[in-house]
């Protein structure tokens, strides 16, 4: 039923359209036209305007041919760099770039699979429940597009993001929530040789505070990091300012809150002991996903993957995705492995067999949902 050459050609056409985050305009046009050619009504939201990018999120509601639960499939339109002038080539059943750019299978393999699934459904008049599609912008820039989307526009009660590493069959059911944490120290400048005793060294105050703080793996579910440190103005001036950028993640919201509080309190207290002043800013980036094998969204994917002859693999990941945002909006959501490899590098590639499996998974999930009816 799957038209392999159509799937491959559409995928190759899409990866060759540059769509680096914020500059998704051409990809938006292609995708909107593709969906409209299939007789669908496409909506674009205001995310492009709000994020000062070229395009907003696209979303589509596909009327059902029979009564069933509404499900959402989501993928992102943007890519990382270097993503200009991509030329996709096929070699040994693999699609890759020429080696000077990324490929963009992250996440256009997902979009290609979803579009092919729509064609298969239409051509074969396959029964299906109500479907919703969401194609986001700015995912690679901190899930920006998904964060702007108004989820009250959707009716879906289960969602599938097709954007996980790992082969088709992987179902990511756990991912952490994350805080970005910025630490600032204000000291007092003085000449380092003439009157250092009149200064308060912000770098040293920061160093003493940081040495008292946990860093790295905290427990099985929780990690934190100090990633960037900057400060001072000149070698011969007592540093009056220093700032540090860090983060904390956990599969558990209460553990995230706890570790964040510990980091914040320790930093402020220790800096104050040095006579300097500290400020700590915490920004919540995205919520956790913590699903169980018994949850319906997981069970449906598990059964769908078995139906097409693959072994389901339930996994946990250390990063966020659009699935985090969708789940956070109250729609149970998993992220599915689509077989993209070496993403975010010029060695990125995808097996043609995986593109086909991705399409089969979409079709099998749609089929599982109507079977449940
Ligand atoms: Zn991605």
For 97-129, the pLDDT digits (tens) are 999 999 999 999 999 999 999 999 999 999 999
pLDDT of residue 372: 84
Say whether both 42 and 149 belong to one domain.
yes
Say whether both 60 and 28 belong to one domain.
yes
CA of 139 relative to ligand 1 center, distance in Å: 7
Residue ranges near ligand 1 (ion) with Cβ within 5 Å? 106-107, 163
Say whether both 147 and 295 belong to one domain.
yes
**For 161-215, how does the pLDDT look when each residue is reduced to its tens digit (9 = 90+)?**
999 999 999 999 999 999 999 999 999 999 999 999 999 999 999 999 999 999 9
Say whether both 82 and 111 belong to one domain.
yes
CA of 201 relative to ligand 1 center, distance in Å: 43
CA of 230 relative to ligand 1 center, distance in Å: 30
CA of 76 relative to ligand 1 center, distance in Å: 7
The yes-or-no answer on residue 307 being catalytic is no
Kindly state the average pLDDT of the residues 359-363: 98
> Is pLDDT of 373 > 80?
no
Say whether both 149 and 265 belong to one domain.
no
CA of 181 relative to ligand 1 center, distance in Å: 24
Torsion sign over Cα 10, 11, 13, 18: positive
Q: Residue 100 carries which DSSP code?
A: S
Closest Cα partner for 277 from 215, 201, 195? Answer: 201
User: Are 318 and 249 within 8 A, CB to CB?
Assistant: yes
pLDDT of residue 282: 98
- Give me the catalytic one of 116, 139, 140, 360: 139
Closest Cα partner for 172 from 295, 264, 85? Answer: 295
The yes-or-no answer on residue 81 being catalytic is no
Here the CATH number for the domain that contains residue 249 is: 3.30.70.360
> Is pLDDT of 13 > 90?
yes
> Is pLDDT of 256 > 90?
yes
**For 298-320, how does the pLDDT look when each residue is reduced to its tens digit (9 = 90+)?**
999 999 999 999 999 999 999 99
**Domain ranges, residue 271:** 177-286
pLDDT of residue 207: 98
Say whether both 232 and 164 belong to one domain.
no
Say whether both 25 and 170 belong to one domain.
yes
pLDDT of residue 209: 98
Q: How far apart are CA 25 and CA 157, in angstroms?
A: 30
Say whether both 125 and 223 belong to one domain.
no
User: Are 286 and 320 within 8 A, CB to CB?
Assistant: yes
Average pLDDT over the chain, rounded to an integer: 97
Q: How far apart are CA 124 and CA 119, in angstroms?
A: 8
Say whether both 163 and 297 belong to one domain.
yes
CA distances from 26 to 21, 55, 98, 372 (A): 12, 9, 21, 39
- Give me the catalytic one of 45, 78, 107, 140: 78
State how many domains the chain has. Answer: 2
CA of 279 relative to ligand 1 center, distance in Å: 34
Tokens 């220093």 sit on residue: 242
Residues 6+ apart with CB under 8 A from 230: 242, 243, 244
Say whether both 237 and 104 belong to one domain.
no
């Amino acid at each position: 039923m799957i038209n392999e050459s159509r799937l491959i050609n559409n995928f190759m056409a899409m990866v060759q359209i540059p769509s680096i985050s914020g500059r998704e305009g051409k990809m938006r046009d292609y995708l909107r036209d593709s969906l409209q050619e299939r007789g669908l009504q496409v909506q674009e939201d205001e995310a492009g305007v709000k994020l000062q990018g070229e395009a907003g999120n696209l979303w589509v509601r596909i009327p059902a041919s029979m009564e069933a639960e509404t499900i959402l499939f989501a993928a992102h339109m943007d890519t990382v760099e270097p993503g200009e002038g991509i030329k996709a080539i096929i070699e040994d059943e693999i699609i890759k770039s020429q080696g000077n750019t990324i490929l963009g299978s992250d996440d256009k393999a997902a979009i290609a699979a979803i579009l092919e699934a729509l064609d298969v459904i239409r051509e074969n008049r396959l029964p299906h429940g109500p479907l919703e599609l969401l194609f986001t912008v700015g995912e690679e820039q901190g899930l920006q597009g998904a964060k702007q989307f108004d989820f009250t526009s959707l009716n879906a009660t289960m969602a599938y993001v097709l954007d996980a590493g790992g082969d088709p069959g992987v179902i990511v059911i756990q991912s952490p929530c994350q805080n970005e944490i910025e630490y600032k120290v204000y000291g007092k400048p003085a000449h380092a040789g003439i009157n250092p005793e009149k200064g308060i060294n912000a770098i040293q105050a920061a160093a003493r505070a940081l040495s008292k703080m946990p860093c790295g793996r905290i427990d099985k579910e929780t990690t934190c990091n100090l990633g960037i440190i900057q400060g001072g103005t000149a070698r011969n001036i007592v540093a009056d300012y220093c700032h540090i950028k860090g983060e904390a993640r956990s599969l558990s919201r209460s553990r995230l809150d706890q570790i964040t509080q510990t980091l914040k309190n320790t930093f402020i207290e220790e800096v104050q002991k040095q006579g300097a002043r500290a400020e700590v800013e915490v920004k919540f980036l995205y919520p956790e996903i913590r699903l169980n094998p018994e949850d319906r969204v997981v069970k449906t994917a598990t059964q769908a993957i078995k139906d097409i002859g693959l072994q389901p693999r339930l996994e946990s990941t250390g990063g966020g995705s659009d699935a985090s945002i969708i789940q956070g909006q109250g729609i149970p959501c998993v992220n599915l492995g689509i077989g993209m490899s070496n993403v975010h590098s010029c060695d990125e590639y995808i097996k043609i067999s995986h593109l086909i499996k991705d399409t089969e998974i979409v079709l099998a999930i749609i089929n599982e949902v109507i079977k449940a009816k």
